[in-house]
Amino acid sequence: MKTLSKLLLLSFIISGLFCPVFAQVTYETEFKSISSLLQSDLSLAEKKIHELEIQIGDMTSHQKAIFFLVSGHAAVFKGEYNKAVSLLSKAQLLTLDKLLLSKIYGLQVTTYLSTRQYTNSFKAAKNSLSTIDFISDKKIKRETYIRLSGVFNDLNAHQWARKYASEALLIANNKAEIACSAKIYLAVSDLKQNDFQSSYSGFEQSKKYCEKNELYLLATIALKGMGHSKLESKDYINAKELLKEALKGYKEFQYQLELVHTHSLLAKTNYFLNNFSSALKHSSVVVSQQEKPAFYEAKHNAHQTLSKIYHAQGQGKIANAF
């Protein structure tokens, strides 16, 4: 009996020691799975997030911070930026871990940029840079440099955008996602500086590289860049085909921000091809979106396209409404 009692007690102690570890391993595995799914299957990622949300009371503070981070990432993909801001703020308050904070700050940069909160975006970028000296992990450094490149591209500070994209490439160490993102940001910089031949070439090379490494969302982003480059260089026929293909890709990923922006580019492209019915269709998709800062640019472009269409059709009163 004593032996049985000791065995039961030992079993209880062992289970007490290993259950939290098992839970931790399980959560960490799920978090990694969700992060991967965000690049391939947003619906399944959301399903897993909802399943984990029920268990949040059993998580450590560190695990909760990771959970809010991946949930915030999903919200960004869906265009739910206010929700993302809230989730990332919760994550930030739950951890002092420099590695995790760097990831949180990095996603905050993207989120604030998407809502045109440039002051907050700079603050997040500054916070992100402040963690660099404490981090030996090159993975986090690479991600930080990529985020900063995005910030400076959006602010048309192209010298700095290229600097940080190049820094990321230097320490990419065959990490395909980082290398592909850096290549795309370099092409974006060319596009914003009206070097459309270089931007098209850069996006094309990025697309091939991303597809080779099965990074299909990034490949779609590069594809849209190719179409945008053709549009700006007035090659409207090729622009239309490339943008239509990109739109199809974004629908699979349910990437709302990029879907709306691609519709606005297709509206403009079809206008220049005198295909007014298609231009109206794509413009209508854009202007029907909610009034979110992330959609301002796309909506502005769509309104301009609508105005031009109605002017071309002799409907000046309607055109002036835009």
- Reported as a single tens digit per residue, the pLDDT across 4-63 is 333 333 333 333 333 343 344 488 888 888 887 777 778 888 898 898 888 888 899 999
Q: What is the pLDDT of residue 186?
A: 96
The 3-state DSSP class for residue 148 equals helix
Whichever domain contains 65, its CATH number is: 1.25.40.10
What six digits make up the tokens of 231? Answer: 């549009």
Please tell me which residue, 200 or 255, carries the higher pLDDT value.
200
What six digits make up the tokens of 302? Answer: 């769509």
Final residue of a structural domain among 136, 158, 190: 136
Distance CA 206, CA 243 (A): 16
In a domain, 102, yes or no: yes
> Considering its fold, how many domains does the chain have in total?
2
Q: How much is the average pLDDT of 54-79?
A: 90
Is residue 264 scored above 60 in pLDDT?
Answer: yes
In a domain, 185, yes or no: no
Q: Choose among 143, 146, 82, 90: nearest CA to 114.
A: 82
In a domain, 301, yes or no: yes
**Greatest alpha-carbon span in the chain:** 97
Final residue of a structural domain among 112, 136, 160: 136
Half-sphere exposure of 185 (CA within 13 A, CB side): 32
In a domain, 4, yes or no: no
Distance CA 70, CA 42 (A): 12
Q: What is the pLDDT of residue 66?
A: 92
**Mean pLDDT, rounded, of the chain:** 84
Which amino acid belongs to residue 4? L
In a domain, 223, yes or no: no
Where residue 274 falls among pLDDT bands split at 50, 70, 90?
Answer: very high
Q: What is the pLDDT of residue 205?
A: 97
User: Which structural domain, as residue segments, surrounds residue 95?
Assistant: 61-136
In a domain, 144, yes or no: no
The 3-state DSSP class for residue 193 equals coil
Average the pLDDT over each of 38-47, 132-141, 192-201 and give the range with the smallest value. Answer: 132-141
The 3-state DSSP class for residue 286 equals helix
Final residue of a structural domain among 113, 136, 159: 136
In a domain, 99, yes or no: yes
pTM of the model: 0.68
Q: What is the pLDDT of residue 10?
A: 33
What is the CB neighbour count within 10 angstroms for residue 228? Answer: 26
In a domain, 157, yes or no: no
Q: What is the pLDDT of residue 223?
A: 98
Q: What is the pLDDT of residue 171?
A: 86
Q: What is the pLDDT of residue 83?
A: 94
8 A C-beta contact, residue 279 and residue 271: yes
The 3-state DSSP class for residue 66 equals helix
